[in-house]
Amino acid sequence: MIFPLKTTSLVMPAAFADIDDMAEIHNKCFSRGWTDSELQALLQDRLVEAFVLRRTTMRITDKPVGFVLARSVVDEAEILTIAVDPDHQNSGAGKQLMQEMIRFLYGNRIAKLFLEVDAGNKAALSLYQGLGFTKVGERKGYYHNDKGQASTAWIMQIEPLKKRRLPGSPEGEEKASSL
């Protein structure tokens, strides 16, 4: 009898050995992807945190299928980029990456986390709103696609340390968001 191997996801800190895969993923996801040297410079920056998501089967760990980078200064942080290989999008990989980054930043007492997202990217907006991000501003004409068309960037924010009522909790019970 043959048993199918169970595939799981593993989020871990990015390593320099991941740079080629990260650049490949970023180039598949964005009209102007980041180069190996740009990603290497970011990974060398002591203010930048980076996580990759790998799919694993038993003892075999595959190359990264997605990654997220964030830069923090004092008690604020910004998501610099998040990218998931198109073959693995809509699988929960982006959510896993964001949740792990938010947990990490929460543990480091980050009070506010910001990101920018194309206002037309419905999948990303749904992900970020589902995680508790809210729109706090916009930049018109910020993004440009391959055809030179401009689109608006939404600036979104979440406050991981802010106390809020948790869904399903008794009235008045508040807790710092911890995903």
Pick from 49, 23, 50, 51: nearest CA to 38: 23
Give the pair of three-digit tokens for residue 111. 């009070």
Distance CA 25, CA 135 (A): 27
* Sign for the pseudo-dihedral over CA of 114, 119, 120, 125: positive
Contact between 121 and 127 under an 8 Å Cβ cutoff? The reply is: no
106 is catalytic: no
Check 38, 128, 171, 174 and give the catalytic one: 128
142 is catalytic: no
Check 49, 100, 106, 116 and give the catalytic one: 116
Number of neighbours of residue 49 by Cβ within 10 angstroms? 22
What's the CA dihedral at 112, 117, 123, 127 to 10 degrees? 0
Q: Which residues does the annotation mark as catalytic?
A: 116, 128
